Chains A and B, each alone.
Chain A
Amino acid sequence: MIRILCLGIAVGTAAALTPSLAGGGHYVVLTVAWVVVAVLLVTYGTGRAVTAKYLVPGTLLLVVFTVAPVLATVQMSTTNYGDGTRTTKRETVERILANSVVQAPDSPTFNLTVGTSGDSDFTFFLVDRATGTAYAGNRDGLKEVSPTVTRGFVTAAAGYTMLTPKQVNDAAAQLKEFAVPVEGGAIRQRGLREAFEGRTMLRYDEAADTITDTATGTSYTVQRQGDREYFVDGQGERLSEQSWRAGVGLENYRRAFTDPRILGGFLRIFGWTVVFAAGSVVLTFVVGLGLAVMLNDSRVRGQKVYRSILLLPYAIPGFISILVWSGFFNQEFGLINNLTGLDIDWLGDPWGAKAALLLLNLWLGFPYMFLVATGALQSIPAELREAATIDGAGAFTAFRRITLPLLLVAVAPILVASFAFNFNNYNVIELLTHGGPFTPDHPDAGATDILISYTVRLAFGAGGAQFGFAAAIATLLFVITGVLAAAQFRATRSLEEVH
């Protein structure tokens, strides 16, 4: 019963959303929604496929929100997607044509009322000043309507809300981009309550992929300049600065590996990423292990108390600890300089910032390693050490020769996992140093940037979105992470353990 109800809800939801999704042209979302519903129906609609019933829910989520985005990132890395290239070529051509509209002396003019029908887009309600005919127009074109017209202006129409002059003024930026296409031109806004039908002199020939200016006869063809395509004339002059999203093959990777400025920054960041991850693992492990050896002794009382207190840094949500620590590193008022009497510019100096990150990561990570090492120590049979002691080995030799090798085998997978985690430890970098300090010669590659923080800045930073290039760096990160994962596979010997 519950099963039928749930399936019914799924189908019903999808069916209810279909008209609006199809109407809005959101075919990708629509297709994914129905595929999900179909998979659910096939899995749960029959009594068979018992295994699938348990695997499908998580797998669907995993595929849609993890696997698909990873594949999309790889695909995006072969494009020039970013600021200035967000639109498709078709949309770009339409914009170039619509923006080139000019008013001719005989252009018809209209009294304008801007309406909206609930979805975010606008509709122009127009009354032709010469004929008095009323039209409604949106991005798809013009149609004749019979709304309420008062003193030459449309004042109401069923299903639409009319914008007040103030609202029109507020929406000026969007309205500037709005044009109602008509034969040979477009209708555009001019002033708060007026619109005109302009003519475009440009013609786009889809077969030849050229735009021709019918006034001058110049024809513009597509030419690649850098990693972008533009319409240019015979001299290479651009018709418009507008470009579009296009495939560039391996150009982004070529840029990353051959542009000396980018390569220099990239290699430096890669090197620091490795040092940061390895340094964090070694520091936390050495301190954690040392503590575990010290406290894991039956004569030490209060082990539970120690453990409860040392659990604190591990239990506190990471972002809180990092933000608290970020105050400690202040040169003038920070706790560290105050307590130690030092005067180090922790976050302003490249080496200081690196040391600060490692110190913070030590604090964040040593409790975890302490717990892990304690667990591993307790799993090593005491007889082994005792036997070595009887054979005449000192305590230190017994530790180095017997305990440590056994322990390293046990914790190796955790060390690799910890390395992989720190390799992509965005939080600690972003919340403490933001990747900085920055130098003038590398304005977008900071001294403490790791690959993931560098990627995020390229994609979402103030310097303008470079999605394509950032996706290429992210793809390299996938590869590196994959290698690390393979290393962990070997370390865990999970291959043998799967039974």
Chain B
Amino acid sequence: MTVRWWREVGWRHAGGLVAVVFAVVPVLYVVSAAFNPLGTVVSTDVIPTRFSLVHFQSLFSDPARPFPRWLLNTLIVCAMVTFVQVLCSALAAYAFSRFRFKGRRGGLLTLLLIQMFPQFLAVIALFTMVTELGEALPALGLNTIAGYSLVLMGGALAQVWLIKGYFDTIPRQLDEAAVVDGASHAGVFFRILLPLARPILAVTGLLAFVGVIGEFLLASIFLTDTNAKTLAVGLYGIIESDRSNNLGVFAAGALMTALPVVLLFQYLQRYIVGGLTSGAVKD
């Protein structure tokens, strides 16, 4: 470790390490709290010192906070909304990428504009709308996962730009060859483009999934029944009801929610970094 090494490379590592510590401390704290049997704020340190699974057990056994139910609700919402969003976006992206039609340019720009308006700004109208919908069809009203998912599907075209950009890089000769072989326009889409676009579908799917799992505003207003809650409002309820004593249970739930998402992010890292530079924003 010479002085020169320090001047040229060492200080870079020093800066990087500071950032790593800053990034990791809260994460370590959650892990530590989740496995700390006492589960209180006072007894929890950044470095885990004790190990117990008591909070995980309590998550699955306390009927007052039905974590499995929230998990299931969240998975249903995420799966439905992500599927619809990626499918609708891919369909529209196909039209925008492969067809030439009147209003194409205007349509693309309109989508870009609408995308920048967060849907939740219209929360008051959405609330009265779902209330009315629930009076007509109780299965789609307030406190239903179906009604909540339906509202979130309003963002069905949020990923058009990303997917269209990817479709544009797939040579047109491929679809033309398929058409010569007798494929219809639907055949080209489902058999040629979708399989080739798997990486971008994975990334947009992940972005949609993360967006839905973290949605709090609409969920907190639409889903107030304990059994209708998603993880976001459910876990919020746990920590809010008793900040100092429920830390362990909350951390255990948080860990189980975050772990799969973090692993997916690591797995898809390469594609995500590519997508970011073309303007994707996680919310």
The chain A residues found within 8 Å of chain B, CB to CB, are 17, 21, 24, 26, 28-30, 50-51, 54-55, 57-59, 61-62, 64-70, 72-73, 76, 287, 290-291, 294-295, 297, 299-300, 306-321, 323-328, 330, 333-335, 363, 366-368, 370-372, 374-376, 379, 413-414, 417-418, 420-421, 424, 426-427, 430-431, 452, 455-456, 459-460, 467, 470-471, 474, 477-478, 481-482, 484-485, 488-489, 492, 494-495, 498
Shortest Cβ distance from residue B213 to the other chain A in the assembled complex, whole angstroms: 5
Q: Which of B114, B213, B221 is A317 in contact with, Cβ under 8 Å?
A: B213
Give A379 to B277 CA distance when docked, in angstroms.
Answer: 10
Q: Which of B99, B136, B154, B232 is A64 in contact with, Cβ under 8 Å?
A: B154
B214 and A73 contacting across the interface, CB-CB below 8 Å: no
Given contacts A72-B122, A421-B281, A426-B120, contact A299 B92 (CB under 8 A): no
Residue of A nearest to B46 (CB): A335
The chain B residues found within 8 Å of chain A, CB to CB, are 8-9, 11-13, 15-16, 19-20, 22-27, 29-30, 41-42, 46, 84, 87-89, 91-92, 94-95, 99, 101, 105, 107-109, 112-114, 116-129, 132-133, 135-137, 150-157, 160, 185, 189, 210, 213-214, 216-217, 220-221, 232, 235-236, 239, 243-244, 247, 250-251, 254, 257-258, 261-262, 265-266, 269, 272-274, 276-277, 279, 281-283
Given contacts A50-B99, A62-B156, A417-B281, contact A309 B122 (CB under 8 A): no
**A481 cross-chain contacts in B, Cβ below 8 A:** 116-118, 121
Shortest Cβ distance from residue B189 to the other chain A in the assembled complex, whole angstroms: 8
B95 and A54 contacting across the interface, CB-CB below 8 Å: yes
Q: Which of B122, B124, B254 is A324 in contact with, Cβ under 8 Å?
A: B254
Which of A61, A291, A300, A309 has the most chain B CB atoms closer than 10 A to its own CB?
Answer: A61
Residue of B nearest to A288 (CB): B19
A76 and B125 contacting across the interface, CB-CB below 8 Å: yes
B12 and A316 contacting across the interface, CB-CB below 8 Å: no
Give A70 to B213 CA distance when docked, in angstroms.
Answer: 23
Give A370 to B272 CA distance when docked, in angstroms.
Answer: 13
**B120 cross-chain contacts in A, Cβ below 8 A:** 424, 426, 452
A498 and B108 contacting across the interface, CB-CB below 8 Å: yes
**B150 cross-chain contacts in A, Cβ below 8 A:** 65
A61 and B153 contacting across the interface, CB-CB below 8 Å: yes
Which of B84, B239, B277, B283 has the most chain A CB atoms closer than 10 A to its own CB?
Answer: B277
- Dominant secondary structure at the A interface: helix
8 pairs across A/B with beta carbons < 8 Å?
Answer: A54-B95, A58-B156, A69-B119, A297-B9, A316-B261, A426-B216, A474-B124, A482-B117
B84 and A70 contacting across the interface, CB-CB below 8 Å: no
